[in-house]
């Protein structure tokens, strides 16, 4: 499956089961794969596939920001139309045309297409229907985004998909006239953790290649690969005539082109053999193992590939549970103390992000490659039947805001096991930095109990998934529904592969092979 076919909205009966009345939804973090795009490189022109695709008509009237004053104090919208050039027969510059001779609306490699914009906008509409219309979790009309966190990777299609999803969630008719520009958070490539960062994490890049090499050894001389060659080898280049995990193009690259063509019009279709159902099932299975088996088997792979991101996810939920709300200085006001607690986070990312999250939590068994516009929603609930304010909250905040002295040479503890003191004294609510990356074992019993009374549930394309370590023990999940994991148990699982210094960990164990020091072979995910 290439393009996601979303399920119908939850029925009242499904909604009642999925969102029990005794649980209160507190925080939603949605990770969304970008929408449909063009292939990341031109392939199979010998099979009649045009290198230029006319599916980016929005590019006809691109809007960029241009300075209107020399001092750069004001900006105006600068509108322009895009055409693309290519090499002619004698290397001269010629206009690039689509399969029907189109000269405008041409896409570049890996660009979000018009269809991709439509499907991500529709995702935003579905989020609106669930979290606003059905659950009333977010307000119907928005005057600002102080209670939201928007982030995207540096890849343009991820940012544009996030924008489309936000517009679907809050269209112009549901934003006030004085609605300020929302803040969208970004990072440099060197510090990006919203996707598995092979380019800037040397050890992870090494591990990724080792797992890919292992997949090649396992699959290149199999009946399944023979079948794929019977379908597609006739179109492979002379210098790499056989389809293989490590051929040129790689099997995953062939899948990239097949999936992209399958999602678009008839003018950019491959020969029918490329869409053979059996062949695509083999291809998908092999590619999923090549790219994502490492998360299921290696704790080091999890740590370097997705651990920093899931560490952030847990920090936000702990801050919500312990501090009464997650706040960030990346909001438009830039003042977390005065700002609202964040209730919803939307992150524009990639297929590798979603699969890494699920596989690292043991929730990607027998799954296919995530289709375009797939999403993972991580929801935090509190037990509405219990109290979370008053004296309990006051004593908890004291524990977090009063470090205990430690022995010389040891790192100061973040929590105080106070047995006395005035609970009427105003305790300053800690920022996320005071609780971030703190191991579960360092939490005081009262805070552990609080985490045990909060629940985490993950939905992949609107389908709840099970985390093995949560489902295995009754005390780790909600009674009667093992897809609700206690925050305590969820953090315990994620702590095992959350790096304390991702950049430093990325240069450890270089050359150690598939399983580095301290990483037991086939360390199962989700426990």
**Is residue 225 left, alpha or beta, with left meaning phi > 0 and alpha meaning psi from -120 to 50?**
alpha
- Three-state helix/strand/coil letters over 5-25: CCCCCCCHHHHHHHCCCCEEE
3-class SS of residue 121: helix
Contact 243, 236 (CB under 8 A): yes
What is the enclosing helix (H) or strand (E) of 165?
helix 156-169
Contact 242, 229 (CB under 8 A): yes
Q: Which of 351, 488, 505, 519 is catalytic?
A: 351
Contact 451, 487 (CB under 8 A): yes
CA atoms within 13 A on the CB side of 187: 17
The Cα–Cα gap between 319 and 326 comes to 5
CA atoms within 13 A on the CB side of 482: 11
CA atoms within 13 A on the CB side of 251: 31
Q: Which two tokens stand for residue 447?
A: 């805070």
Contact 161, 32 (CB under 8 A): yes
Write the CB contacts of 30 (distance below 8 Å, at least 6 apart in sequence): 127, 344, 345, 346, 347, 375, 376, 377, 378
Q: Which of 34, 264, 350, 454 is catalytic?
A: 34
The yes-or-no answer on residue 34 being catalytic is yes
The Cα–Cα gap between 289 and 214 comes to 10
The Cα–Cα gap between 426 and 245 comes to 61
Residue 515 main-chain phi, psi, to 5 deg: -125, 110
The yes-or-no answer on residue 501 being catalytic is no
CA distances from 494 to 49, 315, 521, 526 (A): 44, 10, 18, 8
Pairing verdict, β 375-383 and 148-152: unpaired
How many angstroms separate the most distant Cα atoms in the chain? 85
What is the enclosing helix (H) or strand (E) of 314?
helix 308-323
Contact 485, 457 (CB under 8 A): yes
Contact 458, 381 (CB under 8 A): no
The Cα–Cα gap between 120 and 37 comes to 12
Contact 125, 102 (CB under 8 A): no
**Residue pointed to by tokens 């986070």:** 345
Active site residues: 34, 351
């Amino acid at each position: 499956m290439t393009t996601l076919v979303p399920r119908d909205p939850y029925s009242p009966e499904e909604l009642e089961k999925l969102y029990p009345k005794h649980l209160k939804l507190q925080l939603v973090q949605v990770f969304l794969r970008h929408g449909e795009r063009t292939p990341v490189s031109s392939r199979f022109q010998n099979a009649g596939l045009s290198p230029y695709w006319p599916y980016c008509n929005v590019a006809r009237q691109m809007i960029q920001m241009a300075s209107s004053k020399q001092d750069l104090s004001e900006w105006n919208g600068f509108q322009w139309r895009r055409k693309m050039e290519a090499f002619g027969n004698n290397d001269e510059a010629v206009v690039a045309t689509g399969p029907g001779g189109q000269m405008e609306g041409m896409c570049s490699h890996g660009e979000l297409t018009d269809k991709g914009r439509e499907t991500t906008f529709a995702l935003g509409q579905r989020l609106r229907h669930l979290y606003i219309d059905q659950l009333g979790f977010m307000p119907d009309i928005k005057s600002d985004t102080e209670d939201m966190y928007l982030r995207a990777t540096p890849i343009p299609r991820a940012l544009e998909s996030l924008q489309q999803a936000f517009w679907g969630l809050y269209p112009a008719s549901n934003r006030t006239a004085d609605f300020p520009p929302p803040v969208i958070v970004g990072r440099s490539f060197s510090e990006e953790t919203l996707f598995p960062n092979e380019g800037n994490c040397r050890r992870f890049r090494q591990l990724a290649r080792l797992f890919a090499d292992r997949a090649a050894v396992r699959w290149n001389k199999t009946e399944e690969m023979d079948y794929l060659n019977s379908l597609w080898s006739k179109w492979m280049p002379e210098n790499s005539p056989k389809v293989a995990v490590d051929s040129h193009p790689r099997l995953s690259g062939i899948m990239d082109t097949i999936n992209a063509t399958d999602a678009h019009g008839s003018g950019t279709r491959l020969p029918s053999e490329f869409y053979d159902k059996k062949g695509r099932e083999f291809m998908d299975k092999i590619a999923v193992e090549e790219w994502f088996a490492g998360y299921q088997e290696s704790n080091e792979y999890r740590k370097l590939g997705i651990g920093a991101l899931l560490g952030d996810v847990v920090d936000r939920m702990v801050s919500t549970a312990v501090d009464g709300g997650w706040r960030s200085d990346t909001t438009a006001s830039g003042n977390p103390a005065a700002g609202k607690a964040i209730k919803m986070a939307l992150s524009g990312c990639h297929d590798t992000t979603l699969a890494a999250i699920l596989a690292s939590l043991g929730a990607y068994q027998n799954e296919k490659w995530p289709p375009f516009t797939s999403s993972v929603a991580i929801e935090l609930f509190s037990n509405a039947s219990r109290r979370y304010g008053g004296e309990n909250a006051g004593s908890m905040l004291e524990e977090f805001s009063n470090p205990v002295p430690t022995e010389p040479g040891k790192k100061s503890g973040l929590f105080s096991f106070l047995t006395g003191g005035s609970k009427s004294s105003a305790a300053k609510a800690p920022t996320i930095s005071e609780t971030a990356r703190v191991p579960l074992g360092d939490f005081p019993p009262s805070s552990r109990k609080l985490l045990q009374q909060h629940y985490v549930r993950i939905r992949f394309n609107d389908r709840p998934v099970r985390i093995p370590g949560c489902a295995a023990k009754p005390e780790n999940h909600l009674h009667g529904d093992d897809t609700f994991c206690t925050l305590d148990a969820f953090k315990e699982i994620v702590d095992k592969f959350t790096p304390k210094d991702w950049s430093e960990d990325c240069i450890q164990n270089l050359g150690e092979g598939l399983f580095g020091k301290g990483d037991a072979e086939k360390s199962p995910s989700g426990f």
